[in-house]
């Protein structure tokens, strides 16, 4: 697949880039995409939910009523889970939700997600650019020039660029990522991928190792 390279004014530069078929043209594997997205979301969880169990509640240990003959369920002290204000049975405890995925599975998931975007014609290639100062108005102008207003977009840069990041961070539905760190969830969550020319080479080199 060939794509025209645009400048930040939305005009064609006359250059074209050919997307690597082994990265942008494979048959997408939905199951590995599911696994990778599941792992990403699991890693975002703090896992700090906690409720007190019976041994952790302060209160008298005196047995409130006799064992039999009361007409209700047998219960012991005031900390019983049967009573209002008592302990919780098998409540949440701090835990780690993360799990392991093989590198090859994660790479296949990213290639699958990129192939979906290529099939949907949702990839825009722009030439490398710099912003002298962080200015949201200038970033909005670039988005307008590329005719991507109102769309969720992920801008992929070859390296860390503080001015572009600061210019885009207040815009709803806009994310900025580094080419070597782009992940499956970020790709699928965006409506359109805006990839700079040199970022394309980095993505392809990372995913074709």
CA atoms within 13 A on the CB side of 7: 5
Number of domains in the chain: 2
Q: How far is CA 12 from CA 4, 21, 179, in A?
A: 7, 23, 23
Q: Do residues 126 and 26 share a domain?
A: yes
pLDDT tens for each residue of 54-101 = 888 888 889 988 889 888 888 888 998 888 888 999 999 999 999 999
| Same domain flag for 171 and 155 | yes
Domain that holds residue 135: 2-45+99-207
Instruction: Write down the pLDDT at residue 50.
Output: 93
Q: How far apart are CA 164 and CA 144, in angstroms?
A: 16
Q: What is the pTM (predicted TM-score) of this model?
A: 0.82
User: What is the reported pLDDT for 117?
Assistant: 93
- pLDDT at position 82 is 86
Cα–Cα distance measured from residue 191 to residue 176, given in angstroms and rounded to the nearest whole number: 13
Same domain, 90 and 164: no
d(CA 62, CA 148): 69
CATH number of the structural domain spanning residue 107: 3.40.1370.10
Q: Average pLDDT per run of 10 along the chain, which is 209 residues long? A: 86 88 92 96 94 88 88 87 88 94 94 93 90 90 89 91 90 91 93 91 88
Assigned token pair, 59: 């209160």
User: Alpha-carbon distance 195 to 5, whole Å?
Assistant: 10
Q: Which residue in this structure is represented by tokens 């200015």?
A: 135
* 66 and 92, same domain (yes or no): yes
Pairing assessment for the beta strands 174-178 and 153-157 based on DSSP bridges? parallel
Distance separating alpha carbons of residues 196 and 191, to the nearest angstrom = 16
- Same domain? For 6 and 37 the reply is yes
pLDDT (0 to 100) of residue 30:
95
């Amino acid at each position: 697949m060939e794509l025209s390279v645009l400048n930040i004014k939305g005009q064609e530069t006359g250059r074209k880039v050919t997307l690597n078929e082994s990265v942008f043209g494979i048959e997408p594997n939905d199951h590995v995409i599911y696994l990778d997205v599941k792992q990403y979301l699991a890693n975002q969880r703090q896992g700090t939910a906690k409720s007190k169990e019976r041994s952790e509640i302060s209160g008298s240990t005196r047995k409130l009523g006799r064992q039999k003959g009361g007409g209700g369920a047998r219960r012991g002290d005031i900390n019983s889970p049967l009573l209002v204000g008592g302990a919780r049975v098998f409540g949440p405890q701090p835990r780690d939700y993360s799990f392991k995925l093989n590198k090859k599975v994660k790479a296949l998931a990213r290639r699958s997600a990129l192939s979906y975007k290529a099939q949907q014609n949702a990839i825009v290639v722009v030439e490398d650019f710099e912003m002298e100062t962080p200015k949201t108005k200038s970033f909005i102008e670039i988005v307008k020039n590329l005719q991507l207003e109102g769309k969720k977009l992920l801008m992929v840069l070859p390296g860390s660029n503080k001015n572009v990041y600061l210019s885009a961070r207040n815009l709803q539905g806009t994310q900025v990522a580094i080419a070597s760190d782009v992940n499956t969830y970020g790709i699928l969550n965006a409506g359109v991928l805006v990839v700079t020319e040199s970022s394309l080479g980095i993505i392809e080199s990372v995913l074709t190792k």
